A and B are shown apart, each in its own frame.
Chain A
Amino acid sequence: MSSNMKMEEWEDIYNAEAEFLYRFIYGMVQNRNEADDILQETFYRAIKHGKKGVKNIRAYLMRISRNIIYDKWRKRKREEGKAIQVKERDTMAEERIEIERAIQKLTPEYREVFILREVNGLNYEEISRSLNIPIGTVKSRLNRARLELRKTLRRKLEL
């Protein structure tokens, strides 16, 4: 694989996509160290496997990072029987902490659509392309995610 030219090419891709990907990953895991590890692992795997035949590099990177996140969750669930949560919360406002907790309670499918919409600011079509799912599915998942969040937070927040 890695000739210098290829690494330079990957550096350009990194510069273009890392920020976006990091927002998504952090939104999903809500832990800085874990988000750093996942971002690093995502690019490492992408570089190792190469991008031959890849048409949409963002969707490709998203797929790798989602696989890593889901693998971690599955592994953690098996090992501990409980969800992830060690956070840097001390400086956060209480409302935001509650919202983050509620986001963590969403199912992964709802969570990723919600994060891409509200944290990454993608529109429905962009979410559809990033996750490789139909726009109708994006809409219904986002709707369900919002309703679920509202249900969870209703009793806790003075909205």
Chain B
Amino acid sequence: MNCKDVKRYLSDYIDGLLPSGMKEDFESHLNQCSECRALVQDVKSIQKETSRIKIPELNPYMFQKIKYRVESETRPSPFRVLYRVAMGMSFILTAIALSLYFFRPSYRFAGRSKDLYIIKEEQSGYQFPVYTVEGNYVLTSYQGGTF
């Protein structure tokens, strides 16, 4: 083993991963080479000092902070709630308006009911045909102009 090999297998040696035969070769080279010996000692010292680096205590409330952040962002804001209510109401009002438009008791459909009776112009006093439902007059379509 030479100096280049020592650099190559340095980590394996430091971490105790060299196979026994290679480890003997490695150490035999260290005994002969002061530079490589210094290298290994330096790296071991760095390792020792690094292990002494003080890691601060973890904030005990950290998870509560994370939880609060996640929940506050997934919780809808008051404006969002208002917006949803307004959208819901406008949908309901639109539905009511549309149903009134299509299903209103229009004179256009009055003639289709079996309960309708035609009343002659002279009987109703109007100048066009008029139907009645249970005694109430219902205007029918009038092609001659406005009522």
Chain A residues engaging chain B, CB cutoff 8 angstroms: 1-2, 7, 11, 14-15, 18-19, 22-23, 26-27, 32, 35-36, 39-40, 43-44, 47-48, 92-93, 95-96, 99-100, 103, 114, 117-119, 123-124, 139, 142-143, 146-147, 149-150, 153-154, 157, 159
Contacts and interface: CB of A to CB of B under 8 A. Distances in A.
B56 A35 contact: yes
A36 B59 contact: yes
Contacts of B74: 1-2
Interface string B23-66: 00000000000000001011101110111111110110011011
B121 interface: no
Interface of B: 7-8, 10-12, 14-15, 17, 39, 41-43, 45-47, 49-56, 58-59, 62-63, 65-67, 69-71, 74
B49 A96 contact: yes
Where chain B touches its partner, the secondary structure class is helix
A147 B53 contact: no
A1 to B, nearest CB: 6
A37 B66 CA distance: 10
A11 B63 contact: yes
B83 to A, nearest CB: 21
Contacts of A22: 55, 58
B46 A143 contact: no
Contacts of A154: 42
Contacts of B39: 150
Contact of B66 (A47, A114, A124): A47
A96 B52 contact: yes
Contacts of A44: 66, 69-70
B46 A142 contact: no
B104 to A, nearest CB: 47
A103 B11 contact: no
A51 to B, nearest CB: 14
B53 A100 contact: yes
Contact of A142 (B11, B49, B52, B54): B11
Nearest to B54: A92
B17 to A, nearest CB: 8
A5 B7 CA distance: 52
A95 B41 CA distance: 16
Contacts of A43: 63, 66
Nearest to B67: A7
A68 B56 CA distance: 20
A150 B58 CA distance: 30
A18 B74 CA distance: 23
Contacts of A149: 43, 46
A143 B45 contact: no
Given A26-B55, A36-B59, A139 B46 contact: no
